[in-house]
């Protein structure tokens, strides 16, 4: 009968009236944030950074400013430079994560927060001191070692049976404790291992880092 589909439409909307709303009331509730979320507030580990400025070169917008000088004390640790300036102009950042991808030493990570709103653009530049002192909640974007199943064969059909509650998936950048520089390395990650000769750190720290990984 003509008009029947219009009645059907009314029933659809009525059915949805009785449903629980789909939206999330943001300040009180929060959507589940996935570990790879590319957030603001970059996480930077000075201990890992050599000052090579790969991130600055690879940034499509050129918003990372790095000034280094040869460091006397750091020479025994490998060709490490002393960083004087490490500014990230967050207001122009598009959070593509290419700087993280470019970093060969796992020194730079995407952050996991997203609440860095400021009233003035000049307040949005992240300086080296802010980076040093910030609580470090790195995102797992381009850092598979943080995802907890590195080294296992990459997942295919079979992996779909893995239960959701498996603790290996539950790295929560926001909720978990801040991570130190020893815990975030990619020493076990095969993809980059060939490219670099290992971390340029003093032997003691490297051992600790290795112990931390297991």
As measured in angstroms, the least distance from the Cβ of 198 to another protein is: 19
As measured in angstroms, the least distance from the Cβ of 52 to another protein is: 12
Distance CA 91, CA 111 (A): 15
Of 26, 160, 203, 204, the residue at the interface with another protein (CB under 8 A) is 160
115 binds another protein (CB under 8 A): no
Q: Strands 64-70 and 39-44, how do they pair?
A: unpaired
Of 65, 87, 149, 183, the residue at the interface with another protein (CB under 8 A) is 149
- φ/ψ of 86, rounded to 5, equals -145, 85
Q: Which is nearer to another protein, 72 or 195 (CB)?
A: 195
Of 73, 120, 133, 154, the residue at the interface with another protein (CB under 8 A) is 154
Q: Which is nearer to another protein, 51 or 173 (CB)?
A: 173
Distance CA 71, CA 177 (A): 32
Q: Which is nearer to another protein, 128 or 138 (CB)?
A: 138
The answer to whether residues 69 and 81 touch, using CB atoms and an 8 Å cutoff, is yes
As measured in angstroms, the least distance from the Cβ of 35 to another protein is: 7
Query: Strand ranges (DSSP E) for 20-165?
Result: 39-44, 64-70, 81-89, 108-111, 125-126
Q: Name the region of 142 (left: φ>0; alpha: ψ -120 to 50; beta: rest).
A: left
53 binds another protein (CB under 8 A): no
Per-position b or e across 130-150, b if 16+ CB within 10 A of its CB: ebeebebbbbbbbbbbbeeee
Binding site for another protein (CB under 8 A): 1-3, 5-6, 8-10, 12-17, 19, 21-23, 25, 31, 33-38, 58, 60, 94-98, 101-102, 110, 139-142, 144, 147, 149, 153-157, 159-160, 162-164, 166, 168-169, 191
């Amino acid at each position: 009968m003509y008009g029947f589909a219009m009645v059907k439409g009314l029933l659809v909307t009525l059915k949805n009236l009785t449903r629980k709303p789909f939206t999330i009331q943001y300040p009180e509730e929060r959507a589940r944030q996935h570990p790879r979320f590319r957030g603001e507030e970059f996480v930077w580990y000075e201990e890992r950074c050599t000052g090579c400025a790969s991130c600055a070169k690879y940034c499509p917008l050129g918003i990372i400013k790095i000034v280094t000088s040869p460091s006397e004390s750091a020479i025994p640790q490998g060709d490490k430079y002393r960083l004087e300036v490490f500014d990230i102009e967050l207001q122009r950042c598009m959070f593509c994560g290419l700087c993280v991808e470019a970093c060969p030493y796992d020194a730079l990570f995407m952050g996991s927060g997203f609440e860095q709103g400021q009233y003035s653009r000049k307040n949005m530049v992240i300086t080296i001191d802010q980076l040093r002192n910030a609580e470090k909640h790195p995102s797992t974007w381009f850092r598979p070692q943080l995802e907890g199943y590195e080294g296992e064969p990459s997942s295919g059909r079979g992996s779909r049976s893995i239960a959701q509650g498996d603790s290996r998936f539950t790295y929560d950048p926001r909720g978990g404790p801040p991570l130190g520089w020893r815990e975030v390395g990619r020493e076990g990650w095969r993809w980059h291992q060939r490219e670099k000769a290992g971390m340029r750190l003093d032997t003691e720290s490297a051992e600790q880092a290795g112990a931390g990984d297991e």
